[in-house]
Amino acid sequence: MKRKNLISGLVLVCLPCVPIVLRAQETAIPLARPIQERYEPNRLPVSGGSLVAVLGAGGSDIPVGANQPKVYIPASLSGKLCLTIASRDGAYSATAEYGVTQSTSKVYALTFHSNYSQFRSIKVKDLASLAEVKDDCSSAPSATRTILPVVWFGSTPDFPIHLLLLANQYDARVSASGANAPSVQCADINGVGLTAVFDEECFIPAPWKQFMKDPIEIDIINDLAVHQPPIRILVSVP
């Protein structure tokens, strides 16, 4: 029987990236309201709900420093961009909100300046980031969630995709949509403690790109072979 803990499901997405350079005139999208953040070492991650996020890639052992998050925003999207950030150990967390009014599909920087010096020391590989487009950031997640991959070091999201999730180390599988669509089995991450915010990992290869115009589905199965409600996400990539 696999180990279980009391923390709710947390899903993260990690995308290796291809470097780009933002032009000097491209300013960051401003905050719609002040950042809400906390830093509390040795505290368990807050339970409740499933969270989809993107770990920064490219220089994964490098601290975040003064870098700002960047996302690819398709011109077809509008509404609120809801950013959630959490450190792997659950000590740091933050939320921020931005208006999505861009008319050009490209990578945009998001204004984000933490008041905690500890945040700047967190390595990219230990930082989970979620950018989700919703009508209202305070509303519950929709049945299918639109996710914008987040990067921290002047990069643009690309395949392969590395999904990380907190599944209480139950079995998990990710499936694409459509006839003859592929699926991948997730694997346990060994050596994680009660404060870790993910314990399963899934690798989605580049050939999946043709299926990513439709939502992908994450299925978690407990030790009694009971399927939890699937998590459906539409990952918006260039």
- Tens of pLDDT, residue by residue over 120-171, are 999 887 888 888 999 999 888 888 888 888 888 766 666 777 777 777 768 8
Q: Could you give the number of structural domains in the chain?
A: 1
Opening angle at CA 237, ends 177 and 16, nearest 5:
105
Q: Say how far apart CA 142 and CA 209 lie, in whole Å.
A: 23
Each residue of 153-181: b (16+ CB within 10 Å) or e? bbbbbbbebbbbbbbbbbbbbbebeeeee
Measured distance CA(211)–CA(153) in Å, rounded: 27
Residues 186, 187, 191: CA angle, nearest 5 degrees: 145
Question: Domain residues for 52?
Answer: 10-235
Phi, psi of 221 (to 5 degrees): -120, 125
Peptide bond into 45 cis (omega under 30): no
User: What pTM was estimated for this model as a whole?
Assistant: 0.79
Model pLDDT for residues 159-182, shown as the tens digit of each residue:
777 777 777 768 888 899 877 889
* Residue 5 falls inside a structural domain: no
